[in-house]
Amino acid sequence: MTKDTVEDLFAAARVAVPAPPLGLSERVLADALAHQAEAASRVPLRAPSPARVGLWDWLRAGLGGGGAMAGMVAATLGGFYIGFAAPVETAFLGAALGVEMTEIEMMPGLDALLDEVP
């Protein structure tokens, strides 16, 4: 089979559109109407009550689920630990490696904020 033969077959298939069987549309519509009437006859006994959503359910849904919430709690606790625990000075590492290390005070104490300006 060559490329031209395949193209000729595709062109013939595009021209010849098969017609649906006689009465197909009427049968489909009659079946749909029967199902609509059956569904309309079923009435619920009472309306479903809205589910109560608590604070934790609302928070879990807002944060992306239980796994995401657990990860955020772990990161928060890790941040608190790093913030409150005084880190060990790294001067001993410099002495052990024979490198001079300088320390920069990134967060000064409250003394600078509490000093009175003359």
Residues 6+ apart with CB under 8 A from 59: 69
Per residue in 67-106, pLDDT tens? 999 999 999 998 888 777 756 666 676 777 777 777 777 7
The domain locations on the chain are 55-100
Query: Of 10 and 104, which is predicted with more confidence?
Result: 10
Per residue in 22-76, pLDDT tens? 899 899 999 988 888 777 777 666 666 667 778 888 888 888 888 999 999 999 9
The pLDDT, as a whole number, for residue 49 is 64
Give the whole-angstrom CA distance, residue 73 versus residue 64.
13
The pLDDT, as a whole number, for residue 27 is 92
